[in-house]
Chain A
Amino acid sequence: MRAGLAGWAFAAPALLIIGVFFFVPVLGAFAVSLTDFDLYALADLHNLRFVGLGNYLELLHSRDFWRALGNTCYFVIAGVPLSIAASLGAALLINSRLTRLPALFRTVFFAPVVATLVAVALVWRYLLHTRYGLINWALGGLGLHPIDWLGDPHWALPAIILFAVWKNFGYNMIIFVAALQSIPADLYEAAHLDGANGWQTFRRVTLPLLRPTMLLVGVLTVAGYFQLFAEPYVMTEGGPLQSTTSVLYLMYEQGFKWWNLGLASAIAFLLFLIMLAVTALELRFSRQRESA
């Protein structure tokens, strides 16, 4: 009993901080999401109406919300595997004994992660420029037609995905490098003696031993990619034709541009529920594979 009390006492400061700065605001936001809190309510609280689940129902009937959710899912489904593959590929290259100057490459690959988003977005906007951009110039060299990357609603999101993957893959790469280095060398030696080629070694030794890391990276990346916001905010402002409007971008617009804080809070909760469900599925899927 005394030990339990001491435990609570030690945990109390952290719990208090989490309670005050996380649970109370979240409860507050949930309460706001049940009202039509807007500019008029800011002027006078008498203008606030309780709408129950009205905001949620409105969202489920709104074209904008489904469109934003579709864009976000597209971004997650295409972006996450691409991002993890790029991270793993880069990690394998850096970890390979054939690579010279691994420290240099590690730094170079990690640089986009720490670079200021707005600055690199500006550079990418020039790279992707329809008439003057380097990428279309290269495509032209291959005999392909120029692509209106950020102006064509079909290409804008792929361009954003490309940009986001480039910006973020270095972070997961570092995690993979650490995991790869913790794989004992004698396992590779044994595989080698058994006559396994490079691909077999990768499939049967590296990948299984990376599985816990893979799960961690997967969960973190999916959660991060669902919260797509800054990239479209600086690159396209949600356009063209709202093809890069993500759920979070929609929330920002409703909340901080139009001051529909009630509706914006409802968007935040829906996104939270979706992310919770997806993460739960991921964990369950990985547990099944482990037991199988």
Chain B
Amino acid sequence: MGREGEVIAKLLPQFQRLHPDIEVRVQQLPWNTAHQKLLTAFAGGATPDLCQLGNSWIPEFAALEALEPLETSVAGSSVVQSADYFPGIWQTNVVEGRLYGVPWYVDTRLLFYRRDLLAQAGFSSPPRTWNEWRQMLAAIKARVGPDRYSVLLPLNEFEPLLVLALQQPEPLLRDGGRFGNFESSGFHRALEFYTEAFTNGWAPPVENTQVPNAWEELGRGYYSFYISGPWSIGEFKRRLPPEQQASWMTAPMPGPDGPGASLAGGSSLVMFRRSHHKPEAWLLLEFLSSPATQRRFYALTGDLPPRRSTWEAPELADNVYARAFREQLEQVKPAPRVPQLERIVTEMRLVAERVVHGDLSIDQGTIELDRTVDAVLAKRRWMLAREAPR
């Protein structure tokens, strides 16, 4: 899918040399239609043998019983060793105790920040806790005045709030994903901190469409902190002028009381249950998962590898911008693994937007959110209740 779909053509010749008897046909999908195309393919019985799947989609396709469980294949494999993978990322592939995918590359969110602006505000290192972060946000805002801000939290992106919420000890859903748990004190804290950033004027109340070039805006000092993913490393390198290159850096997410968790994102490789070529598909999956192939894949795409051994390669170990990601990846948590995840985080974002605009108080927001999410999960509860006697 997307860029990965183009790049895989460069990795395949080597696989063909190793296995000349296996013919691989690649079907590229653009990201924004991939989900719908795969569901249509499932409905039409035309699913592929092996597929890249965003790991937040895995529970959905697992619920469709479209995916082949992989525990036995992994157990017998000398290449795919689960202990070598970052545990939070590996977990995203486990739904109701069964393994449905092998991580291909990882994606998590952390801080991109302006070292020089932080230094001017009197701070020599990035924040490790929310309180340190609060002080920095306030100090920067005091310096830059009403037209500039401290942090960008686009109101139409759910990820920043989801990261803050995942840092809490309480899970987002309770009773095995049957009900929302947004009235918990943990989510309350996360939403409070998020809202505070807007009411104190630390974050501009905008959507990302109003900040079409978030990287250059950080360069201009419109804000000093930006929560983003690995692709932004390349964007900053390309878009900021050479004299500004020393001014930006990455840092792991600060947490409520110390280094915080972040979201375990990325893509996995999955096999479809209806495939007639499972052994061959598994061979290709193993090939793509080997540290050597992953190094080439990183060189071609900049996508971060999910295995610790791949990270020992000098191009990653010595990359100053990637270092914070290496640290963060040991502390990533999967989002709730239910098929309705995307809907739930969208509802969460919408409620947060209303709270930020002052339409709802934080308490009203969490109550409203639990009510909506409980309704979204109604069919899931019915399904689980029906499965129980079996």
Contact = CB atoms under 8 A, between A and B. Distances in A.
Contacts of A36: 379
B359 interface: yes
Given A38-B379, A43-B64, A256-B36, A241 B359 contact: yes
Interface residues of B, number: 28
Given A38-B379, A39-B64, A153-B357, A240 B207 contact: yes
Nearest to B43: A42
A240 B379 contact: no
Contacts of A150: 207, 209-210
A240 B65 CA distance: 36
Interface string A30-41: 000000101110
A259 B353 contact: no
Contacts of B210: 129-130, 148, 150-151
B155 A239 contact: yes
B353 A239 contact: yes
Contacts of B60: 39
B156 A239 contact: yes
Interface in B147-192: 155-156
A40 B339 CA distance: 9
A282 interface: no
B353 A241 contact: yes
Contact of A40 (B209, B343, B379): B379
Contacts of A129: 210, 212
Given A151-B206, A151-B207, A39 B342 contact: no
Query: In which size bucket is the chain A interface?
Result: 20 to 34
A47 interface: yes
A237 B206 CA distance: 14
Contacts of A241: 350, 353-354, 357, 359
A242 B64 contact: no
Nearest to A132: B212
Nearest to B383: A40
A163 B66 CA distance: 43
A257 interface: yes
A236 interface: yes
Nearest to A122: B212
Given A43-B65, A47-B383, A125-B209, 6 more contacts: A42-B39, A43-B64, A148-B210, A150-B207, A150-B209, A236-B209
Interface of B: 36, 39, 42-43, 60, 63-66, 155-156, 205-207, 209-210, 212, 339-340, 342-343, 350, 353-354, 357, 359, 379, 383
24 contacts: A39-B64, A40-B383, A42-B39, A42-B43, A42-B64, A43-B65, A44-B65, A125-B209, A125-B212, A148-B210, A150-B207, A150-B209, A151-B210, A237-B209, A239-B155, A239-B207, A240-B155, A240-B156, A240-B207, A240-B353, A241-B357, A256-B36, A258-B340, A259-B39
